């Protein structure tokens, strides 16, 4: 029945309906019931009993399982370990945090190596730096601490000694832009570890030097390099021949990427290679080189290289693809030094990274010969460039080298025939002088599926 009043209307249900619906006054709610309020609005208060039944209120908008969900979140907030069970995990967490503090206090360390180790842990854990970057900066830090005029005291690092050191490096040591930049980045690594804001340590680097155009070796020179006799020892001679050949053909970042290559990164079934890009936080890219580079029986292929590798493999070799004559894997620094040393025996101005530039131009020329245009996207994916603009910067150089050597550079170094290639180059140069159409061979049969390539 309904009761009417002047200021409000109340509707009372019959008693039997209340009892049937499970209605109970607030005072009769059991102690094990939980009251949930939303936005502190008492009109939207509901009580949930242990049987997951919704009681009270006019509109029952919840499911019966809402009580179980709420109870789950309540239980989730409870500690999972009590008493003695909590002691060991808490001790381990505390010990781990003390070993990797978010701020390194140099006064707590007795020696410089221990301080450097703490900064290394901080750089790896909190600054998220790669191991190669950390190793590089610690090498600079050791050199900075031994400077003959203004050594850096990393136990008492201050702005005055930093400025004195940088000015000495620039004025007396004649350090350039990039050398000073490495010093500055090393100081910033320590400042971050000490909890000091590097922005307060103002130092403006000198201007970058003008980019000098580097001359890359032509295919004939590369062929001579990968067939040069570097040593009387058969394995050592084969090691550097294969390394140079793979660097030019694959074009990976030298020396970091070949240094961390493993035997498992080569898939002979699909003739593909998985390259780990240490520069990009160890991401990977898959490339599909020519079959001769992977499984060629008469070429310096990766399959033939594994036969040489087996000759020096020891228990210390691990799974590294390239091994020193002692059987140990290469370090990045040592591999770069040996590649530069052996490469200069053929090319006096050779640098290990030239092989990557050479491969970029060779791959662009290859796409020009096969498709009639420079396919930047194919080369971008091959080399692992982050942006297409990086690959596009090579087009101008590819055009210049294409006029000089208008043939497939990769096949030229794989299937070198000096008399045949000289005839092709001589004919191409002679026709270009006569301003006639020049037909270019890519190293295969003169007839391709789509005919000869026209410039």
β-strand partners of 46: 36
Question: pLDDT (tens digit, 9 = 90+) per residue, 303-342?
Answer: 999 999 999 999 999 999 999 999 999 999 899 999 999 9
Q: What is the mean pLDDT of the chain?
A: 79
Question: pLDDT (tens digit, 9 = 90+) per residue, 366-380?
Answer: 999 999 999 999 999
**Beta-carbon contacts of residue 65 (< 8 Å; ≥ 6 apart):** 52
360 burial (CB, 10 Å; 0-12 / 13-18 / 19+) is buried
430 burial (CB, 10 Å; 0-12 / 13-18 / 19+) is exposed
Q: What's the rounded Cα separation, in Å, for the pair 348 and 346?
A: 6
pTM of the model as a whole: 0.61
Mean pLDDT in residue range 130-154: 93
Q: What is the reported pLDDT for 99?
A: 65
Q: What is the reported pLDDT for 315?
A: 94
Question: pLDDT (tens digit, 9 = 90+) per residue, 197-254?
Answer: 999 999 999 998 876 667 899 999 999 999 999 999 999 999 999 999 999 999 999 9
Question: pLDDT (tens digit, 9 = 90+) per residue, 275-291?
Answer: 999 888 789 999 999 99
Other CB atoms within 10 A of residue 413 CB: 25
Are 134 and 120 spatial neighbours (Cβ–Cβ below 8 Å)?
yes
Q: What is the reported pLDDT for 20?
A: 47
């Amino acid at each position: 029945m309904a009761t009417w009043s002047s200021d409000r209307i109340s509707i009372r249900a019959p008693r039997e309906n209340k009892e049937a619906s499970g209605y109970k006054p607030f005072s009769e709610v059991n102690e094990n019931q939980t009251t949930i309020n939303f936005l502190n609005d008492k009109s939207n208060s509901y009580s949930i009993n242990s049987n997951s039944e919704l009681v009270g209120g006019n509109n029952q908008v919840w499911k019966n399982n809402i009580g179980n969900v709420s109870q789950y979140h309540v239980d989730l907030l409870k500690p999972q370990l009590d008493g003695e069970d909590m002691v060991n995990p808490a001790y381990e967490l505390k010990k781990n945090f003390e070993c990797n503090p978010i701020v390194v206090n140099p006064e707590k360390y007795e020696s410089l190596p221990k301080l450097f180790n703490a900064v290394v842990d901080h750089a790896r854990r909190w600054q998220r730096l790669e191991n190669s970057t950390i190793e590089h900066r610690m090498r600079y830090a050791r050199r900075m601490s031994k400077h003959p005029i203004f050594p850096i005291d990393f136990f008492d690092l201050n702005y005055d000694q930093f400025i004195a050191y940088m000015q000495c490096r620039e004025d007396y040591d004649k350090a350039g832009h990039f050398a000073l930049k490495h010093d500055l980045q090393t100081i910033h690594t320590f400042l971050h570890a000490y909890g000091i804001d590097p922005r307060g340590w103002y130092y403006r680097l000198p201007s970058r030097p003008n980019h000098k155009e580097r001359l890359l070796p032509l295919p004939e020179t590369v062929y001579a390099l990968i067939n040069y006799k570097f040593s009387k020892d058969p394995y050592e001679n084969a090691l550097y021949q294969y390394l140079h050949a793979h660097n030019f053909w694959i074009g990976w970042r030298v020396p970091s990427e070949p240094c961390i290559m493993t035997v498992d990164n080569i898939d002979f079934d699909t003739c593909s290679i998985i390259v780990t890009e240490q520069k990009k936080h160890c991401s990977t890219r898959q490339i599909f080189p020519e079959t001769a580079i992977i499984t060629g029986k008469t070429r310096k292929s990766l399959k033939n290289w594994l036969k040489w590798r087996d000759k020096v493999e020891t228990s210390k070799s691990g799974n590294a693809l390239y091994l020193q004559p002692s059987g140990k894997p290469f370090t990045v620094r040592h591999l770069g030094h040996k590649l530069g040393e052996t490469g200069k025996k053929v090319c006096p101005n050779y640098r290990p990274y030239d092989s990557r530039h050479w491969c970029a131009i060779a791959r662009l020329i290859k796409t020009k010969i096969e498709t009639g245009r420079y396919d930047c996207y194919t080369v971008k994916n091959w080399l692992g460039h982050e942006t297409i603009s990086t690959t596009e910067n090579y087009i101008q150089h590819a055009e210049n080298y294409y006029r000089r050597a208008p043939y497939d550079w990769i096949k030229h170094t794989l299937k070198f025939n000096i008399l045949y290639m000289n005839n092709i180059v001589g004919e191409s140069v002679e026709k270009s002088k006569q301003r006639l159409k020049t037909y270019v061979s890519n190293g295969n049969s003169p007839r391709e599926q789509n005919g000869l390539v026209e410039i």
